[in-house]
Structure 1
Amino acid sequence: MSELRIRAATPDDLDTVLAFWKEAAEGTSISDDRAGVERLVERDAEALILAERGGELVGTVIAGFDGWRCHLYRLAVHPDHRRQGVATALLAAAEERFVRLGGRRGDAMVLVDNERAHHAWRAAGYAPEEHWRRWVKPLV
């Protein structure tokens, strides 16, 4: 098994990332398109973190920091590479980024029905806050 490489995405990676999410990520987001991911990388070049093994994309996480809160989205690992430390490495990179930027606590968007993800997030030290509920309003 070749070594895992963790790095920030570049604009050249975006089509590969979008195709990867269709295969490896659970659910979809209104921002899962070229324009949405392009905006993310243009606004914060270090937010989209990739894991590669042997030159192949095997995992992603978005580690967004708005100056106040640390948000984690799109933690996804290719099914053939799960349970091999990819998510752990991605979360470590995200958390190091947050600490470097002055962040104090990370929060993650996790689908309610994705039990596999619940186990992974708990293993990484995260826990649900049942007293919060996400409220959304589409803007487009």
Structure 2
Amino acid sequence: MRIRPFSKNDRTDDTESVVALWRECGLTRPWNDPYADIVRKLSSQPELFLVGETEAGVQASVMVGFDGHRGWMYYLAVASDRRGTGLGRALVAEAERLLTERGCPKIMLMVRSTNEHVVAFYRTLGYATDEVVVLGKRLIED
């Protein structure tokens, strides 16, 4: 697999492949427009929006962000027929490398509590539950 930044230019547009991947992986929700999320990410640290590509096309993705205090991972997705092959691990390692280069002291992510398989995946990579409450407030309705 080749890891590269998400591309949206005259030659390559990863948008439809990535949205289809997110849908396959159950990451989309009616209240979050995946197309709007992509546009927003491309306006801020677009180099931290990564895709994993094989001969079959885009097979994995991750959005990474750094606010100067913490790094975050969102939309980590691997095509269902490629799970267990190391694609997710490779994307997480690249996200961690890019954040470390920027001086990021800690990376965070959110997983739905019912998604036990994904929680177990992250635990094998050294991630642990932090004793925090995540609060949110919708500022823009999609």
Whether the TM-score (by the shorter chain) exceeds 0.5 is yes
Contact 2:21–2:78 (CA<8 Å) still a contact in 1? no
Match of 1:7 in 2: 4
Q: Distance in 2 between matches of 1:78 and 1:44?
A: 24
> Which is further off, 77-86 or 49-58?
49-58
Q: Give aligned-pair identity as a percent.
A: 32
Match of 1:138 in 2: 138
Match of 1:117 in 2: 118
Structure 2 unaligned spans of 5+ = none
Cα distance, 1:75 vs. partner? 1.0
Q: Distance in 1 between matches of 2:38 and 2:2?
A: 21
Match of 2:80 in 1: 79
Q: Distance in 1 between matches of 2:94 and 2:30?
A: 23
SS in 2 for 1:46: helix
Aligned pair in 2 of structure 1 residues 88, 29: CA closer, same or farther (>3 Å)? farther
Count of residue pairs brought into register by the alignment? 136
Aligned pair in 2 of structure 1 residues 28, 112: CA closer, same or farther (>3 Å)? same
Q: Distance in 2 between matches of 1:124 and 1:29?
A: 30
Q: Deviation string for 1:59-99 (max 9, x for gaps)?
A: 11111111221001111111100000001100011000001
Aligned pair in 2 of structure 1 residues 97, 27: CA closer, same or farther (>3 Å)? same
Structure 1 unaligned spans of 5+ = none
What is the identity, as a one-letter code, of the residue corresponding to 2:128?
Answer: A
- When the two structures are superposed, what TM-score results if normalisation uses the length of structure 1? 0.89
> Which is further off, 27-36 or 68-77?
27-36
What is the identity, as a one-letter code, of the residue corresponding to 2:134?
Answer: R
Cα distance, 1:34 vs. partner? 1.7
SS in 1 for 2:47: coil
Aligned pair in 2 of structure 1 residues 29, 40: CA closer, same or farther (>3 Å)? farther
What is the identity, as a one-letter code, of the residue corresponding to 2:7?
Answer: T
Cα distance, 1:137 vs. partner? 1.0
Cα distance, 1:31 vs. partner? 4.1
